[in-house]
Amino acid sequence: MARTLHPTKIDIADDTRAAMIDVLDGRLADAVDLASQMKQAHWNVKGPAFIALHELFDNIHDAVRGHVDEIAERITALGGTARGTVAAAAAASTLPPYPLEIYTGGEHVEAASTALATFGKNVRAAIAEAGEVGDADTEDLFVGVSRDTDKNLWLVEAHAQAAR
């Protein structure tokens, strides 16, 4: 899809900006999807660990919404247009669809951890891509997102690991 690069005095070559906007846009779609998946889990989790998971999924949702904003603002700083609508995210997300008919804490832990792990893997690939083209600021943004995602994955997976 052809992109319009808005004029900017940022000292990054147009081809690098365009490449990074494509990478950022892909992760923006994933992040919008991940945020909605965490709300889905938050609303529908049931069982003995309800309150702990209900609050955890809501906290993760809030953290991911922050990443959505950072990613979208980096797109616009590079002269792109952030494509952050639900429809755009649905069309472009690479996350597995969240199961809508699950209820138990264990089922939501499995689905949420899968989504977080997939997102984390994609973000690490984006770190490498930003590093390859020399965009240290985008690389740094993704490093922070990756670190936070790994922490949230750990918090979710701890609920499954306790059952072993």
In a domain, 78, yes or no: yes
What proportion of the chain, given as a percentage, has pLDDT over 90? Answer: 95
Q: Report pLDDT digits (tens) over 14-27.
A: 999 999 999 999 99
In a domain, 1, yes or no: no
In a domain, 5, yes or no: no
Instruction: Indicate the pLDDT class of residue 3, thresholds 50, 70 and 90.
Output: confident
In a domain, 6, yes or no: no
Q: What is the pLDDT of residue 162?
A: 60
Domain that holds residue 79: 14-161
Instruction: Indicate the pLDDT class of residue 10, thresholds 50, 70 and 90.
Output: very high
Cβ proximity of 54 and 42 under 8 Å = yes
In a domain, 106, yes or no: yes
In a domain, 3, yes or no: no
Q: Report pLDDT digits (tens) over 54-108.
A: 999 999 999 999 999 999 999 999 999 999 999 999 999 999 999 999 999 999 9
* Side-chain half-sphere exposure of 25, counting CA atoms within 13 A: 19
- Long-range contacts (CB closer than 8 Å, 24 or more residues apart) made by 126-131: 126/23, 126/24, 126/26, 126/27, 129/19, 129/20, 129/23, 130/20, 130/23
Q: What is the pLDDT of residue 39?
A: 98
CATH number, domain of 109, equals 1.20.1260.10
In a domain, 119, yes or no: yes
Number of domains in the chain: 1
In a domain, 137, yes or no: yes
Q: What is the pLDDT of residue 4?
A: 85
